[in-house]
């Protein structure tokens, strides 16, 4: 079942690839917000940093579970 979900093709690539890309982008944006706030170049709220961090962790966990359970 997990293999079917993980390797469901969307545009020729498996779902797990797209999920990994989204997780990477979320982690990058989270770090970018912290970096820009530290330099004083943005006024984005710290709340957005935490929201993106939580979302990154949740989606990263889903990505991990799909990746591991597709081989078990």
Question: Number of folded domains in the chain?
Answer: 1
Please, which pLDDT band fits residue 38 given cuts at 50, 70 and 90?
very high
Give how far the C-alpha of residue 4 lies from the chain's centroid of Cα atoms, to the nearest Å: 20
Distance of CA 51 to the CA centre of its chain: 12
Sorting pLDDT into bands at 50, 70 and 90, what band is 1? Answer: confident
pTM assigned to the model: 0.88
| 17-40 mean pLDDT | 96
19: containing domain: 2-69
Q: How far apart are CA 11 and CA 35, in angstroms?
A: 34
């Amino acid at each position: 079942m997990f293999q079917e979900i993980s390797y469901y093709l969307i545009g020729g690539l498996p779902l797990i690839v797209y999920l990994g890309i989204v997780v990477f982008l979320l982690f990058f944006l989270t770090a970018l917000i912290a970096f820009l706030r530290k330099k004083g170049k943005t006024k984005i709220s710290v709340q957005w940093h935490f929201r993106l961090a939580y979302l990154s962790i949740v989606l990263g966990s889903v990505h991990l579970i799909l990746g591991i359970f597709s081989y078990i």
